[in-house]
Amino acid sequence: MPTIDAVDFFYLSMPEVTDEADGSQDALLVRVVAGGHVGWGECEAAPLPSIAAFICPMSHGVCRPVAYSVLGKRLESPADIARISVDVAYNSMDLLQAPHTLSGVEMALWDALGKMRGEPVWRMLGYDRSFAKTPYASVLFGDTAQETLERARAARAANFRAAKFGWGPIGRGSAEADAEHFAAAREGLGLDGLLLVDTGQIFLEDVERAAARLPAMEKAGVLWFEEPFQASAIDAYAALARKGSKVRLAGGEGAHNVHMAKQLIDHGGVGFVQIDCGRIGGIGPSKEVADHAVAKGVTFVNHTFTSHLALSASIQAYAGLKDHVIAEYPAMPKPLALAFTANHIERDADGEIHAPDAPGLGIEVSADGARPYLQDVEIKVNGQVLYTTPAL
């Protein structure tokens, strides 16, 4: 009977980490060894607390380390992965970093199981085939409208038919200043390009300030207005949706469990739900949200701003949905995000991407590429070493 023999974490970081809203500046790789097979995953959270959540001493009966529910457990089927997730949710109920830590572990479990079975993850999720996705270049707004224009032109020159501009100065100044950025993005992308806007929760729960941006977005032909508010501000989402704008709302990357995502779909009025399987608990919960989105007439989209390992994991959950075609694609990641993967999900001649048709996630990790960014970490309590960076 295959069991989970080891779970190892590798903290990677750029030599200098800035305050730029770019999640590819560091990474937490997860390696699972089960039944003689190695699977890889990636946590989308601060690496050190995520490592600590796996190995920390027990605080009480439902605040146990994530390792308690994972190591030594059976891994023969998707049902085993689901059972482990349920156990983590209960046994680590009060360990608030647990969902983020589990996300990377759960991805790696699917990868290992796929390699055991010789099947891609999307097939194990029940899909008969995988459909092409239209990737959008995910970039940040420039400090000036001119910089935004240049970035939009660069995305179009790189053969992206869609682009999302996020964060930067949007919402920090006037609505008029923001309108210049929206217009610049549209000009650079062209009239036929798909334009998406992400404001990174900048309006907190201020519906009127967010709504003040809608006329300029409509004029620029923006498809969606992503994360205007904090992830759990469901009432604010609903109130903005009731404004009746042609620009649909998008959100969900902040969901760290299925229930948060379902609340946004059922009560927040979003037209697009964006799930990061590195945060929500992994691939299984992402698939559950995708199924719910289909039933509710909401479009499912992945959220990925880091590596191609995370990209592959994130598109598995909706690979078999023909009508859900938009996919976030990390167009300008930091060097480490490209270095630690040996192969990448490349766009085809039509500019589209596909979930790999290979066992597991279909992405191989490059130890040589990762080593220059590997951080040497030791966690010790009362002289006892609980964690030290393992051999890569």
Is residue 28 pLDDT above 90, yes or no?
yes
**Distance in angstroms (rounded) separating the CA atoms of residues 147 and 284:** 39
Instruction: Specify whether 62 is located in the same domain as 100.
Output: yes
What pLDDT, on a 0 to 100 scale, did the predictor assign at position 333? Answer: 87
**Domain presence at residue 158:** yes
**Domain presence at residue 348:** no
**Domain presence at residue 25:** yes
What pLDDT, on a 0 to 100 scale, did the predictor assign at position 20? Answer: 82
Instruction: Specify whether 29 is located in the same domain as 44.
Output: yes
CATH, residue 327: 3.20.20.120
Is residue 232 pLDDT above 90, yes or no?
yes
**Distance in angstroms (rounded) separating the CA atoms of residues 125 and 373:** 33
What pLDDT, on a 0 to 100 scale, did the predictor assign at position 125? Answer: 98
What pLDDT, on a 0 to 100 scale, did the predictor assign at position 1? Answer: 83
**Distance in angstroms (rounded) separating the CA atoms of residues 21 and 285:** 26
Can you tell me the mean pLDDT for 229-236?
A: 96
Instruction: Specify whether 152 is located in the same domain as 94.
Output: no
What pLDDT, on a 0 to 100 scale, did the predictor assign at position 183? Answer: 97
Instruction: Specify whether 113 is located in the same domain as 130.
Output: no
Instruction: Specify whether 104 is located in the same domain as 53.
Output: yes
What pLDDT, on a 0 to 100 scale, did the predictor assign at position 242? Answer: 97
Instruction: Specify whether 135 is located in the same domain as 103.
Output: no
What pLDDT, on a 0 to 100 scale, did the predictor assign at position 21? Answer: 78
Give the model confidence (pLDDT) of 81-99 as tens digits.
Answer: 999 999 999 999 999 899 9
Q: What is the pTM of this model?
A: 0.95
Instruction: Specify whether 156 is located in the same domain as 292.
Output: yes
Q: Is the dihedral of CA 291, 297, 298, 301 positive or negative?
A: positive
What pLDDT, on a 0 to 100 scale, did the predictor assign at position 22? Answer: 80
Can you tell me the mean pLDDT for 204-213?
A: 97
Share of the chain above pLDDT 90, in %: 93
Can you tell me the mean pLDDT for 248-261?
A: 96
Is residue 3 pLDDT above 90, yes or no?
yes
**Domain presence at residue 148:** yes
Q: Which domain holds residue 54?
A: 4-120+367-388
What pLDDT, on a 0 to 100 scale, did the predictor assign at position 219? Answer: 97
Can you tell me the mean pLDDT for 184-198?
A: 96
Work out how many domains the chain is built from and give that number.
2
What pLDDT, on a 0 to 100 scale, did the predictor assign at position 50? Answer: 96
Is residue 222 pLDDT above 90, yes or no?
yes
- Would you tell me how many other CB atoms lie within 10 Å of the CB of residue 330? 24
What pLDDT, on a 0 to 100 scale, did the predictor assign at position 138? Answer: 85
Lowest mean pLDDT among 90-94, 159-163, 317-321: 159-163
CATH, residue 66: 3.30.390.10
Instruction: Specify whether 129 is located in the same domain as 115.
Output: no
Give the model confidence (pLDDT) of 101-143 as tens digits.
Answer: 999 999 999 999 999 999 999 999 999 999 999 999 888 899 9
